[in-house]
Amino acid sequence: MKKVSLLGATGSIGTSTLDVIAHYPEQFSLYAVTAYSNVQKLAEIAQRTNAEVAVIGDKSLYSELKEALKDRGLQTKAEAGEKAIVEVAKAQEVDVTVGAIVGAAGIASTFAAAQAGKRMLLANKESVVCGGQLLMDTVKKYQAELLPVDSEHNAVFQCLHGASEEMRLHHRIILTCSGGPFRLRADLSGVTVEEATHHPNWSMGKKITVDSATLMNKGLEVIEARWLFDTPADRIDVVVHPQSIIHSMVQYGDGVVLAQMGAPDMRNTIAYCLGYPERLNAGVKPLDFSKVGQLTFEAPDLKRFPQLGYAYEALKMGGCGCIMLNAANEIAVEAFIAGRIHFIDIAKVCEVMMNSASSIAPKNLEEVLEEDRRSRILTKEFINGFSGE
Ligand SMILES: NC(=O)c1ccc[n+]([C@@H]2O[C@H](COP(=O)([O-])OP(=O)(O)OC[C@H]3O[C@@H](n4cnc5c(N)ncnc54)[C@H](OP(=O)(O)O)[C@@H]3O)[C@@H](O)[C@H]2O)c1
């Protein structure tokens, strides 16, 4: 029986993880479940899973969580605050930590799980984008195991399985991209929040859905792939594949390509990581190729979706370029969802803010978090005085 800490249990990845775990009650039990502000949903999850600890990120909600657990007659221990999330990420009792918090708020707990040598199922791509080489070195130093939940990186992980060092020397990574909801829309100036938060193929949280619409999500994935697979950016390509059946590919030195396919359902990749190296069945309907029809491919349009290009630029810049791009995007997406800026302004904010990134790479987690904080403050100031022109 493996004990799991599920960080971000109330979100989209959290919900899919709970669904997969429910299929295997003899293999997994919940040690901890966490959320930021959704107290009632967290308490309901604690009840359903019999979790030992429930943590709410917003400290001011501690009493409310305690009451909610008590009302349900649960023995589950209530905890609150960012430090408490870090504690359950690295707790001795835990075998597997699932990082499904959204945004840079997930960085500290990812590093904590790595330093504790855990098996990490990592959905929180922002940790890899901001932590970069530092995170990968930490994983190696403490013999942690980082299994990528993101469907593209999970696909690459599967395609690289068994490849020798020699074979890896000449591989190319080909990340597939649905193209998002605006692939065929010429003018993006009037995009509404409602339109940008509905993805054609995937059901996901709000932030990543907007990122998919701007292609920033693919940009973050390019950065993620660079570190996860130790592959330089000039050997990472992006191809638009609107059907989302091929989740990504690896081309080896002989030109042959391995592709991983499946239904667009995150339960597949979560089950793969939970069971690794065995395969667990997540209960997702298998692909029926007679119904899939055509698989098509096209180049991404960097004019309408410049944020994908910014990700390559941030990698080239080095220093804190990726941290700044990630923070600027997060703050700009928040402002867009709040109705303060237009959809097309998200890219403008990112472009301008990248010029303010420090050229010195962070040496430890504290410096990563400090640069993230600094980038957010600068971006907020810029948006406050932003005319949109
Ligand atoms: N959804 C997907 O299909 C998908 C695919 C690939 C990768 N990912 C990545 O997985 C991560 C999670 O995405 P998601 O779509 O599941 O997001 P989501 O549905 O928005 O869920 C986010 C989770 O994080 C918690 N949270 C939010 N802010 C927090 C904070 N400051 N401190 C602690 N916890 C916080 C939320 O709690 P509350 O509910 O209380 O707010 C919720 O449990 C993201 O990094 C995303 O890029 C997602």
pLDDT tens, N- to C-terminus, the chain (389 residues): 999 999 999 999 999 999 999 999 999 999 999 999 999 999 999 999 999 999 999 999 999 999 999 999 999 999 999 999 999 999 999 999 999 999 999 999 999 999 999 999 999 999 999 999 999 999 999 999 999 999 999 999 999 998 888 888 889 999 999 999 999 999 999 999 999 999 888 888 999 999 999 999 999 999 999 999 999 999 999 999 999 999 999 999 999 999 999 999 999 999 999 999 999 999 999 999 999 999 999 999 999 999 999 999 999 999 999 999 999 999 999 999 999 999 999 999 999 999 999 999 999 999 999 999 999 999 999 999 975 54
Q: Distance between CA 365 and CA 305 in Å, rounded?
A: 31
The closest-lying atom of ligand 1 relative to the alpha carbon of residue 103 is 45
Q: What's the whole-model pTM score? A: 0.96
pLDDT at 363: 96
How far, in Å, from the CA of 13 to the mean position of ligand 1?
Answer: 7
> Whose alpha carbon is nearest atom 31 of ligand 1?
105
Give SS3 for 258: strand
Per the CB < 8 A criterion, the answer to whether 257 and 250 are in contact is yes
pLDDT of residue 169: 83
Cα 87 to chain centroid distance, Å, stands at 21
Parts of the chain belonging to CATH 3.40.50.720: 2-148
> Where exactly does CATH 1.10.1740.10 map onto the chain?
318-389
Residue 286, CB half-sphere, CA atoms under 13 Å: how many? Answer: 4
Structure tokens at 72: 């349900």
Which CATH code fits 318-389? 1.10.1740.10
Could you tell me the distance, in angstroms and rounded to a whole number, from the CA of residue 36 to the centre of ligand 1?
9
Q: Which CATH architecture has domain 2-148?
A: 3-Layer(aba) Sandwich (3.40)
Residue 8 one-letter amino acid: G
- What integer pLDDT is reported at residue 253 of this predicted model? 93
Q: What is the predicted pLDDT for the residue at 202?
A: 80
Q: Among 5, 208, 269, name the best residue to mutate to test ligand 1's pocket (greatest count of ligand atoms within 8 A of Cβ).
A: 208
- How many CA atoms, within 13 angstroms, populate the side-chain half-sphere of residue 186? 0
From 5, 42, 102, give the residue whose CB has the most ligand 1 atoms within 8 Å, as the site to mutate. Answer: 102
Q: Which residues line ligand 1 (CB under 6 A)?
A: 8-14, 35-38, 57, 85, 100-102, 105, 123-126, 150, 202, 204-208, 266
d(CA 23, CA 25): 6
Spacing, Cα 41 to ligand 1 middle (Å): 14
Atom number of ligand 1 nearest to Cα 37: 40
Atom 45 of ligand 1 has which residue's CA nearest to it?
124
* Residue 65, φ and ψ in degrees, nearest 5: -65, -45
